[in-house]
Structure 1
């Protein structure tokens, strides 16, 4: 049997088995990778190479941005910034059907544009607004579905940790270009959720409009301006070349920390807990990147990407059909694998194929991340799905039916992102 086929079978059979029996995904990837490496290298060589790839995979300056953005998000979550963004979002969603649900969507987009984390947005925004929605007569299933469906916008609207990972594994792809490319798809996702939420709200008679006086509106905007300035400072500085994405992530930490102390929502005694929680989240992400680097190396060594490319091209040479197959595969993969390892494992497989057809690497990055964002809100693994259900006080079975229309609209937007390059490339070209 061909070596690439043997290696692929070991990887893609052992990995789902390990996941099904409850082994953590990072350990599963590391074990499957090292096991397959022993097939092509002696025992000592495979262990040494695994250790080397573990180090090399995480030895990247751009990856330093991830722990800083995680820390910034946790500080915002505890420092009174989230509630100000929610209040600001109410001004935008207040005149639409189901104003609190629409405000939830806008708040998730704003919070994601600062923290870069869909899970953090679902927890911070959903946890704050869910009790208010319940008090005004919204069903927990409806409010939870809206919160879950809109939270992934934070993984597309910059800053995005997943896009940083893609930039690292894809090679010479500008993080700044990826960041600015995520705006239109992320906003389209949010608008799609707002449209479905409005239709569902009218069916369930959640059409009460909130009344906000002009004086309250001005006060809310003034309260939110310092928080919103963080978006302008960090993203604007990166796009203008004043500082890199990594330096921008450090600035985000300092700015959010100062702002939280000014708001008097954060105490010095809270910092050890926040730092520890951020360190735990960072260690999970970085370790996953390291073990995925082992898998990427063994697949490259045995020419698995080339074999898969040849198989795909053997089925069809129609690029439209190939993109549809890739989207379907990534949607399936996203249901049981977190975005970070999925990007690390499958980018080296699919990227050469789309490049051979002339697809821009920035557009492909947005496409693959958009796919995996849908996976974060689908069972059985979806981290945002579980977080949203927990803060909303509902079960997956209760909320799943409400999520079906949102799955449909995000799938339609995914097709737009896949086949309309300007949705991803217009802003990067405009900003050069």
Structure 2
């Protein structure tokens, strides 16, 4: 009965479009009342969920992304990508994917990626003769790399939910899958571009090349500083994020100088707004997760899945299918916090490393960011492209197929995730 109250109230409130964080809190409190658990005990668990040193890295990652976004880093990375691959047929589409790969490693957010890169490249692609729906499809599908390539605050959320999985291991585990995803998306985009005879980009003037290289590399160094500091062991994740933020601040306001220093208050406002939502969500999910454990839901789910089939392949396919379906109706952060304690014991029984599962989980849920009815990145891309979402979906199908193919490769070929983390042990 208590499990029915927990999940029934949760689903009902979601259907009523109550914000996810409030949904988690209300369903947790209702369940606690039905069990007879004192409400202060649930609130204590919610507060304890935010009492983690590793979570201090999240505000710095969000702030660094906002600073670089404000300072025009996306435009500079687009120029760098255009210099490297713009001469190929359908070059702007490939530039779009490359820029998302670069920027995603800095912002760690698919929605930020679509907003920044898409606001520049979608209008540019339309002007050059690219189909409107195709331009949006390329942008939103490549934005998924924003959450799988390091640094990604979603990996820190997963680390917390999984009981302290190595953040550096997660960061390095996302490198090869992220690059594989970028390559596969480029192949799809190139095949479509050749078929539709989309144009090549105009060659860049020689005198512009040094400036493009210098400014693009300076922007990329933000991610290099953060990742390098963590992987080398010289800094913790929090320290690297803080140092990367200081570097981003200096580059944006004192080197690029596209925006005045007075704009920093707007950056802080957006950062605090995002951070408050993330921390409230983490807090709410902690109370919900504690009740899941109290009611022994993870163990029941694990027993059910393992008894459904003793075949490892079928079990992993079933978990992926469940996550894909959940990702279409819920945002990534709450799903990471809810799904991790439920499914991590199952995959652990199958011998899957927590780092491997984390990358599989995050890539799986990133597909939900571009899938209706929630699909935040898809909604943003459609708004920028000024095109109904329904028209984009048909063009997105080949990209959906590519992303699911990469997801299956990552699921069943652990070496692609664990190779680099294994080198660093």
Out of 299, 306, 311, the residue aligned to residue 313 of structure 1 is 306
Corresponding residue for residue 33 of structure 1: 28
Matched, 1:386 2:390: no
Aligned residues: 424
Instruction: Report if the CA contact (8 A) 2:96-2:117 is conserved.
Output: yes
Matched, 1:10 2:2: no
Counterpart Cα distance in 2 of 1:10 and 1:408: 37
Give the alignment's Cα RMSD to 1 decimal.
1.3
User: After superposition, where does 1:307-386 map in structure 2 within 5 Å?
Assistant: 307-386=300-379
Corresponding residue for residue 80 of structure 2: 88
Corresponding residue for residue 73 of structure 1: 65
Corresponding residue for residue 228 of structure 1: 220
Corresponding residue for residue 271 of structure 1: 264
Instruction: Report if the CA contact (8 A) 2:82-2:201 is conserved.
Output: no
Counterpart Cα distance in 2 of 1:367 and 1:390: 29
* TM-score using structure 2 length: 0.97
SS of equivalent residue, structure 2 residue 164: coil
Matched, 1:238 2:250: no
SS of equivalent residue, structure 2 residue 144: helix
SS of equivalent residue, structure 1 residue 159: coil
Counterpart Cα distance in 1 of 2:108 and 2:73: 14
Q: CA deviation at 1:373?
A: 0.6
Runs of 5+ unmatched residues, structure 2: none
Out of 157, 165, 190, the residue aligned to residue 173 of structure 1 is 165
Out of 15, 22, 26, the residue aligned to residue 17 of structure 2 is 22
SS of equivalent residue, structure 2 residue 289: helix
Per mean C-alpha deviation after superposition, the further-off stretch among 225-234 and 413-422 is 225-234
1:305-364 deviation line (CA, Å, top 9, x unaligned): 111111112211111111011000000011111111111111111111111221111101
Matched, 1:259 2:251: yes
Instruction: Report if the CA contact (8 A) 1:63-1:164 is conserved.
Output: yes
* TM-score using structure 1 length: 0.95
Corresponding residue for residue 93 of structure 2: 101
Matched, 1:405 2:387: no
Per mean C-alpha deviation after superposition, the further-off stretch among 168-177 and 262-271 is 262-271
Q: CA deviation at 1:172?
A: 3.5
Out of 90, 112, 128, the residue aligned to residue 120 of structure 1 is 112
Out of 149, 155, 179, the residue aligned to residue 187 of structure 1 is 179
Corresponding residue for residue 156 of structure 1: 148
Instruction: Report if the CA contact (8 A) 2:86-2:200 is conserved.
Output: no
Q: CA deviation at 1:218?
A: 3.3
Runs of 5+ unmatched residues, structure 1: 1-5
Counterpart Cα distance in 1 of 2:240 and 2:259: 22
Instruction: Report if the CA contact (8 A) 2:128-2:199 is conserved.
Output: no
SS of equivalent residue, structure 2 residue 143: helix
Instruction: Report if the CA contact (8 A) 1:99-1:210 is conserved.
Output: no
